[in-house]
Structure 1
Amino acid sequence: MLGTAVVRGLTAHDIPSVRMLLDRDPGVNVFLRYRIDTTALRDRVVGARVWGFFDGDDLVSACHAGSNIVPAEATPEAIEAFAEHLLVEGIRPASLAGLQSAVLPLWERVAPFLGPARSVRPVQPFLSIDRDPELSADPRVRRVTMDEFDLLYPACVAMFLEEVGIDPEAAGGHGYRARVAQLISQGWAFAIIEDGEVLFKTEIGAASPLACQLQGVWVRPDRRGQEVAAGALAAVIRMVRRDVAPLVTLYVNDHNAAARATYRRVGFGERATFASILL
């Protein structure tokens, strides 16, 4: 507690106020908004808590607290309070992610207790597009169907290994397989599949009525540098904006020059800077 400020777990009663808070920046905050919309903040469903930082009766900031720590609209006072709460509750997250301005000071506060990090990614441009791309869309892109799970899954594993640096199947892979199956069943997995092989794929990782976030953009290694991704993403963005949400976002590692050039070509603009800490 800091003066009149307090951190507490949010409940269903808080949903209107936390939605209002997150919709100040619907693109940046889409992950947390998606979690709230899909769980209704029921503890038995969420598998993690969402904390609120209050100044009196006013909700000032929020933070997803589970395997992923994701602060939202976090003030310096909220960051300090969330760090203290994280340590007191003894949570051992797999990652911290979100706006650089919140994640890095939060990590600095908790690193002596949670570190060392497996990977610190301090600069990840956050990109968005709110219009259909002018670039021609690749007509081969389509939603993946459940009977194509065994085709898509190896590409998802390859992307995860390349991006995160660990094997999602190391502990049996049941959770990761279930997540991929869920995305397919939602109509949130997109790919180019030719001759039984995935050439390109991406998924929607989170969505609200206002925005959605793409994840896992991947091109088969032997097709990279052949301009596959740009036209494929143009197709995905058109479908997603039509069927899911008008604002499409993603974030990318700053050192990935090829990916950043592709996103610029498609029409994404840089709006903010994210950071991720992988533990």
Structure 2
Amino acid sequence: MLSRVAPWLASRKDVPDPPGISVRTLDGDDTAALVLLAQRDPVSNVFILAHLRATGTAAPTSGGAGVLGVFDDGVLAGACWAGANLVPIQLEPTLAGVVAAAANRSGRRYASAFGPAAAVLALHAELVDLGHRAHEVRPDQPLMTISEGPSVEPNPGLALGNLADFDRILPACAAMFEEEVGYSPFLGGREFYSRRVEGLIRQGHSLVHLNEAREVVFKAELGAVTSDVTQIQGVWMNPLYRGQGLSAGYMASVVEQARKVAPVTSLYVNGFNTRARATYERVGFSQVGTFATVLF
């Protein structure tokens, strides 16, 4: 069915949507179809599968975030989460044009787009033509997984985060965020990001090592979780402890904790971060795909 999409690539802006192709925001009746679509690649699509696991529906959230579905003769052929971020779901690059147009019509401002590289970069190209400008494009982010025990000795100091330590964990999370994207997560207020960190702690998805002085030495989160896959996010080492060869042991402990939740542990990393990639490989991760991130 998708073969008929080819005539309206990015170079054919004047051509209307092809017969049979339509885009709309999914609702609760589309939940089963979206689950089936996302389960074609449970590692790449862990973000939306975790959302569906938590909410039980493809319908928009109370905050207005939703899923744009692309239908080919009434069959869900691809989709894209459209909230604070854009996250393609089994989206062929040739479908990026209609998704970008729908996302643009919503009037939302998107902080980023992330996910499988081909789809994200195609979305970015379409959004540029619609006037959206990115301040950074990271086109090569290896998607890595491990489905067995770690290859190095875990650091026994890593433990689940505790709400009693929230005031110590939150600044570490904010420091990681600012290092990664270049601005503070508290721009526009502290409430949203603080609730996100608190929620991860309450869910048992915050992993942290505090030293005797109750300073955060290392932390990471299980940012997206299903019964099949976890995705590690927010890996951060206190600058005072960097360069001491501690990262592999901490990551091994993260894997041990993640394997209590799901059999496959995943993450994605900037391609230029050769030290982190080497650490993950030493722990036992191997590349299974490539993500990209566009920061708007």
Once the two structures are superposed, residues 148-190 of structure 1 have per-residue CA deviations (whole angstroms, 9 ceiling, x without a partner) of 1011111111111101100112222111111000000000000
With 176-185 and 31-40 compared, the bigger mean Cα shift is at 31-40
Closer, same or farther: CA 44–29 of 1 in aligned 2, 3 Å: closer
Query: Could you tell me how far 1:29 is from its partner in structure 2?
Result: 0.5
Q: Is 1:94–2:94 an aligned residue pair?
A: no
Cα RMSD for the two superposed structures: 1.4
C-alpha contact (below 8 Å) 2:178/2:185 kept by paired residues: yes
With 108-117 and 265-274 compared, the bigger mean Cα shift is at 108-117
Letter in 2 for 1:13: D
Gapped regions of structure 1 (runs ≥ 5): none
Once the two structures are superposed, residues 37-72 of structure 1 have per-residue CA deviations (whole angstroms, 9 ceiling, x without a partner) of 223234343640111111123211111011100111
C-alpha contact (below 8 Å) 1:124/1:273 kept by paired residues: yes
SS across alignment from 2:103 = helix
Correspondence for 1:223:
241
Q: 2:280 aligns with which of 240, 263, 272?
A: 263
Q: 1:14 aligns with which of 13, 30, 34?
A: 30
Task: Choose between structure 1 and 2 for higher RCO, CA contacts under 8 A separated by at least 6 residues.
Answer: 1
Q: Is 1:199–2:217 an aligned residue pair?
A: yes
What is the rounded CA distance, in whole Å, between the counterparts of 2:66 and 2:137 in structure 1?
Answer: 24
Q: 2:125 aligns with which of 101, 108, 112?
A: 108
SS across alignment from 2:175 = helix
With 178-187 and 132-141 compared, the bigger mean Cα shift is at 132-141
The aligned runs of 1:58-97 (5 Å cut-off) are 58-97=75-114
The aligned runs of 1:163-202 (5 Å cut-off) are 163-195=180-212, 196-202=214-220
SS across alignment from 2:216 = strand
What is the rounded CA distance, in whole Å, between the counterparts of 1:143 and 1:44 in structure 2?
Answer: 29
Query: Could you tell me how far 1:208 is from its partner in structure 2?
Result: 1.3
What is the rounded CA distance, in whole Å, between the counterparts of 1:221 and 1:76 in structure 2?
Answer: 39
Letter in 2 for 1:5: I
SS across alignment from 1:45 = coil
Letter in 1 for 2:109: R
What is the rounded CA distance, in whole Å, between the counterparts of 1:238 and 1:158 in structure 2?
Answer: 25
Give TM-score scaled by structure 1 length.
Answer: 0.95
What is the rounded CA distance, in whole Å, between the counterparts of 2:267 and 2:240 in structure 1?
Answer: 24
Query: Quick one: percent identity of the two aligned structures?
Result: 39
Query: Could you tell me how far 1:81 is from its partner in structure 2?
Result: 1.5
Closer, same or farther: CA 178–114 of 1 in aligned 2, 3 Å: farther
Closer, same or farther: CA 277–34 of 1 in aligned 2, 3 Å: same
C-alpha contact (below 8 Å) 2:218/2:238 kept by paired residues: yes
Q: Is 1:35–2:51 an aligned residue pair?
A: yes
With 169-178 and 100-109 compared, the bigger mean Cα shift is at 169-178
Closer, same or farther: CA 150–212 of 1 in aligned 2, 3 Å: same
What is the rounded CA distance, in whole Å, between the counterparts of 1:140 and 1:234 in structure 2?
Answer: 11
Gapped regions of structure 2 (runs ≥ 5): 1-16
Larger radius of gyration between Structure 1 and Structure 2: 2
With 31-40 and 261-270 compared, the bigger mean Cα shift is at 31-40
What is the rounded CA distance, in whole Å, between the counterparts of 1:96 and 1:170 in structure 2?
Answer: 19
SS across alignment from 1:50 = strand
Moved over 6 A (4+): none
What is the rounded CA distance, in whole Å, between the counterparts of 2:138 and 2:198 in structure 1?
Answer: 28
SS across alignment from 2:192 = helix
C-alpha contact (below 8 Å) 2:34/2:58 kept by paired residues: no
Letter in 1 for 2:37: L
Q: Is 1:3–2:11 an aligned residue pair?
A: no
Query: Could you tell me how far 1:35 is from its partner in structure 2?
Result: 1.8
Correspondence for 1:273:
290
C-alpha contact (below 8 Å) 2:26/2:59 kept by paired residues: no
Query: Could you tell me how far 1:114 is from its partner in structure 2?
Result: 4.0
